[in-house]
Amino acid sequence: MTRPSLPLTDLTPALGGAEANPIRIGFADKNPLVLRGLQSLFGEDRRFELVVSASDGERFLDAVARFEFDVGIIGWVMANGDGRAVLEGLKERTPAPRIVVYTGADLGVARLAMQLGAAGFLSKSEPPERLLDVVAEVARGRMMFPFLDLGRAAAADPLACLTGRERELLERLAEGLSNEGLARRFGLSPNTVKFHLRNLYEKLGAANRAQAVAVLLGRDRGQPP
């Protein structure tokens, strides 16, 4: 079944009346309703000029090659090229837009996005209007992240940055479940399991499942991982 998506296109004419030097922006999100909401939100603010809108990371990276814009606002979980893939892909491109991750995921993703080179992060639980200010500040060269006491959180609990689902996956890994077993257990596709495991390993600084399980066992025994 074809996924609904907004076309990748130059949307500049839809805005009209923009400032002389507007902040040029691009969007990527799996949800067409989110994309339409962002278009409406930014289209009403004369500081911004919408250049591209894409339904996944691959289309967004293609847009970077085809269009010039200053800031990209991307979701984190996307079927074809997730947030991590976008940030990693932009490392090879110069110039590249600065990236704000706009997602419903928790602060563990904010930490990962920062490590991968994002310039900002905002949770979808915040008022949407807050995104306007975050993007404006990022365009001025500032980093815009929520407070992340990374050193204290890691020292107190190496698992503190995990989502509930990631913690469950880790516990099932410790029980010896394979990727296929995890997919059946949680009702997920194998690709979704791989996505969650990749994030899990990155957050724990683990190269594989054995190292990730060692972190869990070390924590539960009150020992450093």
pTM across the whole model? 0.63
Percentage with pLDDT > 90 across the chain? 41
Stronger pLDDT, 158 or 45, i.e. the higher one: 45
Other Cβ atoms closer than 10 A to 58: 18
Distance CA 171, CA 153 (A): 20
Using alpha carbons, select from 86, 117, 124, 118 the residue that is nearest to residue 103: 124
Using alpha carbons, select from 135, 156, 72, 145 the residue that is nearest to residue 107: 145
Q: Which of 105-114, 140-149, 174-183 has the highest mean pLDDT?
A: 174-183
Chain centroid to Cα 13, Å, comes to 28
pLDDT of 160 reads 65
Calculate mean pLDDT across residues 160-185. Answer: 84
Calculate mean pLDDT across residues 173-188. Answer: 89
Calculate mean pLDDT across residues 18-37. Answer: 89
The predicted-structure confidence for 210-225, as pLDDT tens digits, reads as follows 888 888 887 544 444 3
205 phi and psi angles, rounded to 5 deg:
70, 30
Stretch among 69-83, 97-111, 151-165, 182-196 having the lowest mean pLDDT: 151-165
Distance CA 38, CA 32 (A): 10
Q: What is the mean pLDDT of the chain?
A: 82
For 29, residues 6+ apart whose C-beta sits below 8 A from its C-beta are: 35, 38, 55, 74, 75, 78, 102
Calculate mean pLDDT across residues 56-76. Answer: 95
pLDDT of 224 reads 40
Calculate mean pLDDT across residues 125-154. Answer: 82
Calculate mean pLDDT across residues 63-81. Answer: 93
Percentage with pLDDT > 70 across the chain? 80
The predicted-structure confidence for 31-54, as pLDDT tens digits, reads as follows 999 999 999 999 999 999 999 999
Angle subtended at Cα 35 by Cα 134 and Cα 111, rounded to the nearest 5 degrees: 45
Distance CA 21, CA 113 (A): 28
DSSP 44: T
